[in-house]
Amino acid sequence: MASRGCASNKIAGALIAVVVLAAAVTLVRAYGFGARADQGKNAAQASLNDCAADPVAVKLIENGEARTVYETGDAELVASTFAALDDCTVGDAVDERMSDAGRTLVFAYADGSEQSVEFEGKNIVLDKTAYRLDGADELWRQLAAIKSSQRN
């Protein structure tokens, strides 16, 4: 009888171990090493809350050696900048981080609310993690246009 009870305990222990392992794998996939839910989404969907209104102004904040702020209310430039962001796709997380190449794009709305998107170099930052930003060539041209509009 003692050997039968010992075998039952071993089977029960093995079953518990399998259940614990399955739960751990599920948690790691969901929270740890799995793909971010925003990967594959366009950058506007991933970084901005749903907003039915179109932005009326855009501000570009560059944080390098000095902080520089560029702002425009030019409707065409605001719309084309938002469209360029919307055309970008969030890629894989990147390992290398840049502390001196931060930029923030702030969209302002008629009701006074604002939504911002953070960049680090040519990457987008979501929840303190940098991701490759695919299809961003037009976005970088729009950011240069915002800067140029301040010099005129």
State which amino acid sits at residue 126: L
Q: pLDDT above 70 covers what percent of the chain?
A: 63
Confidence of residue 43 (pLDDT cuts 50, 70, 90): low
Looking at residues 90-104, what average pLDDT do you find?
A: 83
Non-local (6+) Cβ contacts of 59 within 8 A are 69, 70, 71, 105, 106, 108
Name which residue leads in pLDDT, 38 or 138. 138
Per 3-state DSSP, the chain is made up of helix, strand and coil in percentages (nearest 5) of 40, 30, 30
Match 């594959």 to its residue by tokens.
40
Please determine, for residue 88, whether its predicted confidence score (pLDDT) is greater than 60.
Answer: yes
Please determine, for residue 84, whether its predicted confidence score (pLDDT) is greater than 80.
Answer: yes
Please determine, for residue 51, whether its predicted confidence score (pLDDT) is greater than 60.
Answer: no
Looking at residues 117-128, what average pLDDT do you find?
A: 90
Residue 93 contacts residue 131 (beta carbons within 8 Å): yes
8-state DSSP, 132: E
Confidence of residue 97 (pLDDT cuts 50, 70, 90): confident
Confidence of residue 44 (pLDDT cuts 50, 70, 90): low
The DSSP line for 60-79 is EEEESSSEEEEEE--HHHHH
Report pTM.
0.67
